[in-house]
Amino acid sequence: MPATDLKRADAASPGGGDDISSGLDALESPSAPAARRAAKKAVAPLAAIVFVLVVWQLAYALDVLSTLPSPASVAGELGDLWRDGTLLPALGHSLERCVFGFAASVLVGAPLGLLVYRYALVRTVIAPVLSAFQSLPAAALVPLAVIALGESESAVYAVVLLGAVPSISMGLASALDQIPPLLRRAGVTMGATGLRAVRKVLLPAALPGLVSALRQGWTFGWRALMTAELITATPLPGVGQVLNAGKESASFTLIVAAVIVILAIGVLVEALIFGPIERRVLRDRGLTGPK
Amino acid sequence: MTSTSVTRAAAAPAVRLAGATKRFGDALVLDRIDLDVAEGEFVCLLGASGCGKSTLLNLAAGLDRPTAGTVTAGAARPALMFQEHALFPWLTAGGNVELALELGGLDRKERRAEAERLLALVRLSGAHGKRIHEMSGGMRQRVALARALAQGSQLLLMDEPFAALDAITRDVLHEVLTDVWEKRRLSVIFVTHNVREAVRLGQRVVLLSSRPGRIAREWQVGIPYPRRIEDHDVAELSLEITGHLREEIRRHARH
């Protein structure tokens, strides 16, 4: 069999050059950097939290704002919300809407971004509309959605989608635009065409930009959701409704507690999901991301 | 040398350009190029800037069509290598090779072993899991060569693939390339502006004139392999060819 002949021939290389090439390889490969930033990583957010708490407590002690509740009273309020069974269901409802809303936004936004990238006609017609929606505040969308769909879950979802989809599709389209032509050409040379080119070359090449687009889509969707929950009326429980209850009862403590919950979710999603994904994606490509 | 080239020409060539002409707008880039590359032949294309070397390679690769004349290639999809490695940075060295194998239709089970084999062929055993950014320029170009080989084409088109490497690394890559060429019986068109490199590598050196690109002269290189770039014969022929290359460039100064 020629195949076995080839195997044997491949295994044996003429002497001399091997040593030089492996010597060069060893000299020119950087040694792997030691992973010792783990402790640092945990310290930074903790320091930020302590900093905020100290400033807050100081402002309370100096009575900078007469209505400002103390950190302790807000913590107590959060404890009450937890015990009386308001916090967890509200969180559950909001997160459920955000997760499903975000998933739907990805399913709509990613293909739309591909179409904008691929077809000049789609770009001409749809891209300006998407850009326009990107600059539209969610607060302006809520009345529209409520009138069109009633005070319902669908109205909330519509607001989340309109908040997230434009960011995802425009972000993906611009990430695809930035793929080096040489990589596309290499893909074509290797026979990656059509959907295979999308799956094997274009999407992986655009992944860093795609992750940024998804993060921005999530942020916009989350903000839009809070706005929607705040503005639409009672049948839709959620964190936004807790905020609204604070406003109705003029309880600064409750409002600050709700804001902290909303903030915490944003921070946690970034720290546990988008941050690690982005670091991984950038590290694999030898690009230095945020440390 | 002449007798072998006659027998070679009798077989179907790996690539045949017959009166191939290429214009971009009004600019005549290639003018009636006649070039046969035989199966298993190593041809180096040499010329100053603007001689249309890369255009010629694109025609041979089927990435572009001639304005007039014909280009016939035996291989359906020739493998291409560029000056930049063009490896996919989201894949490991082995991943890049395996992707080429996958797109060529090889079974998942066989890909890993074949990729290892190809990496060993370019003297990169054990580099399967290495990231592209962790490797030197010379290693990257060898991965690119392994990936090009993974396409399974017998025709390899190379566009100044070693131009950005330092002299010692380039030396090693010359050795790897001629080694692979002999083992795999590939047909190679190697574009370069480096005369010594052309003589070191090629069985035949084709000198192109500039603006428009025409075949100015050809040399059969009778120096037996393995050659080294500092060999006396290589230096001597390089000197002769450099003289002609300079003449070609000088012609432009007069006009």
Q: CATH number, domain at B243?
A: 3.40.50.300
What is the mean pLDDT of the segment spanning B217-232? 89
Q: Which of A20, A25, A283 is the best mutation test for B, with the most CBs of B within 10 A?
A: A25
**Per-residue pLDDT reduced to its tens digit, B103-145:** 988 888 889 999 999 998 888 888 889 999 888 888 999 999 9
Binning pLDDT at 50, 70 and 90, where does residue A84 land? confident
Residue A23 in any domain: the answer is: no
A9 and B84 within 8 Å at the Cβ level: the answer is: no
| A–B CB contacts, 8 A cutoff, strictly below | 104
Domain holding A269: CATH number? Answer: 1.10.3720.10
Mapped to the 3 state alphabet, what secondary structure does chain A carry? Answer: CHHHHHHHHHHCCCCCHHHHHHHHHHHHCCCCCCCCCHHHHHHHHHHHHHHHHHHHHHHHHCCCCCCCCCHHHHHHHHHHHHHCCCHHHHHHHHHHHHHHHHHHHHHHHHHHHHHHHHCHHHHHHHHHHHHHHHCCCHHHHHHHHHHHHCCCHHHHHHHHHHHHHHHHHHHHHHHHHCCCHHHHHHHHHCCCCHHHHHHHHHHHHHHHHHHHHHHHHHHHHHHHHHHHHHHCCCCCCCHHHHHHHHHHCCCHHHHHHHHHHHHHHHHHHHHHHHHHHHHHHHHHCCCCCCC
* Contact flag A286-B131 (C-beta cutoff 8 Å): yes
H or E stretch at B72: strand B68-73
The CA distance from B129 to the nearest CA of chain A, in Å, is: 11
In-domain check, residue A37: no
pLDDT at A226 over 70: yes
Residue A8: the pLDDT is: 41
Q: What is the pLDDT of residue A235?
A: 54
Q: Using 50, 70 and 90 to split pLDDT, how confident is the model at A153?
A: confident
In whole angstroms, give the CA distance from residue A145 to residue A224: 12
> Do B163 and B64 belong to one domain?
yes
Q: Provide the shortest C-alpha distance from residue B248 to chain A (in Å).
A: 31
Nearest CA in chain A to B123: A18
Spatial distance between the Cα atoms of A230 and A240, rounded to a whole number of angstroms: 5
- Domain termination site, one of B116, B136, B152: B152
Using an 8 Å CB-CB cutoff, list chain A residues near B98.
none
Non-local (6+) Cβ contacts of A17 within 8 A are: B123, B172, B175, B176, B179
Q: What is the mean pLDDT of residues A87-100?
A: 89
Please indicate, yes or no, if residue A147 is contained in any of the structural domains: yes
Task: Quickly state the pLDDT bin for A41 (edges 50, 70, 90).
Answer: low
The answer to whether the Cβ–Cβ distance between A183 and B138 falls below 8 Å is no
How do beta strands B15-24 and B27-37 pair?
antiparallel
- Asked if B124's CB is within 8 angstroms of A286's CB, the reply is no
pLDDT band at A172 (very low <50, low <70, confident <90, very high): very high
Rounded to 5 degrees, φ, ψ at A190 are: -80, 0
Boundary (domain end) residue, out of B137, B152, B167: B152
Query: Are residue B248 and residue B177 in the same domain, yes or no?
Result: yes
Residue A18 included in any domain: no
Q: Work out the minimum CA distance from B32 to partner chain A, whole angstroms.
A: 26
Q: Can you tell me the mean pLDDT for A88-112?
A: 92
Of A7, A14, A29, the CB nearest to B136: A29
Q: Per the domain annotation, does A227 fall within a domain? A: yes
pLDDT, position B165: 87
Owning domain of residue A263: 70-284
pLDDT digits (tens, 9 = 90+) for B159-201: 999 988 888 888 888 998 998 899 888 999 999 989 999 999 9
Question: Sorting pLDDT into bands at 50, 70 and 90, what band is A202?
Answer: very high
Number of domains within chain A: 1
Q: Which residue has the higher pLDDT, B75 or A227?
A: A227
CB B199 within 8 A of CB B241: yes
Query: Contact B172/A20, CB-based, under 8 Å?
Result: yes
Question: Looking at B103, B123, B152, which one is the last position of a domain?
Answer: B152
Q: How far is B246 from chain A (nearest CA, A)?
A: 32
Q: Do B171 and B57 belong together in one domain?
A: yes
Same domain membership, residue B249 and residue B146: no
The residues, ordered by sequence, that sit 6+ positions from B174 with a Cβ below 8 Å of its Cβ are: B162, B197, B200, B201, B229
Cβ neighbors of B185 (< 8 A, separation 6 or more) are: B39, B40, B154
* Digit-coded pLDDT (tens) for B11-40: 678 889 888 889 888 888 888 889 999 999
Of A14, A24, A207, the CB nearest to B172: A24
Give yes or no: residues B124 and B203 share one domain: no
In a domain, A168, yes or no: yes
CB within 8 Å of A190: residues ≥ 6 apart: B99, B100, B103, B104, B147, B151
Distance from CA of B1 to the nearest CA of A (A): 25
* pLDDT bracket for residue A212 (50, 70, 90): very high
Is residue B234 over pLDDT 60?
A: yes
Give the model's pLDDT for residue B43: 95
Determine, for residues B99 and A190 on separate chains, whether the beta-carbon distance falls below 8 Å. yes
Residue A3 within a domain:
no
Measure in Å the smallest separation between the Cα of B13 and chain A Cα atoms: 21
Instruction: Name chain A contacts of B61, Cβ cutoff 8 Å.
Output: 189
A3: pLDDT strictly greater than 70 = no
Long-range contacts of residues A7-11, Cβ cutoff 8 Å, at least 24 apart: A7/B117, A9/B183, A10/B117, A10/B120, A10/B121, A10/B183, A11/B120
Helix, strand, coil distribution of chain B in percent, nearest 5 = 40, 25, 35
Same domain for B188 and B241, yes or no, is yes
The residue segments making up the domain with residue B13 are 2-78+155-254
Q: How many domains does chain B have?
A: 2
Between B91, B123, B138, which is nearest A13 by CB?
Answer: B123
Q: Which residues of B touch A28 (CB under 8 A)?
A: 135-139
Residue A150, in any domain of the structure: yes
H or E element in which residue B218 lies: strand B214-220
Closest partner residue to A28 among B79, B132, B136, by Cβ?
A: B136
Which residues in chain B touch residue A288, judged by CB atoms under 8 angstroms apart?
A: none
Q: Is pLDDT above 80 for A12? A: no
- Of the two residues B93 and A147, the one the predictor is more confident about is B93
Report the pLDDT averaged over residues A84-98.
88
Q: What's the gap in Å between the CA of B183 and the closest CA on chain A?
A: 7
Which candidate from A24, A25, A196 shows the least CB-CB separation from B103? A196
Q: Which residues of B touch A14 (CB under 8 A)?
A: 175, 179, 226
Q: Does residue B241 surpass a pLDDT of 50?
A: yes
Q: Are residues B90 and B209 in the same domain?
A: no
For residue B48, the model assigns a pLDDT of 77
Q: Residue B135: list chain A partners with CB under 8 A.
A: 28-29
Closest CA to B96 of B78, B75, B118, B77: B118
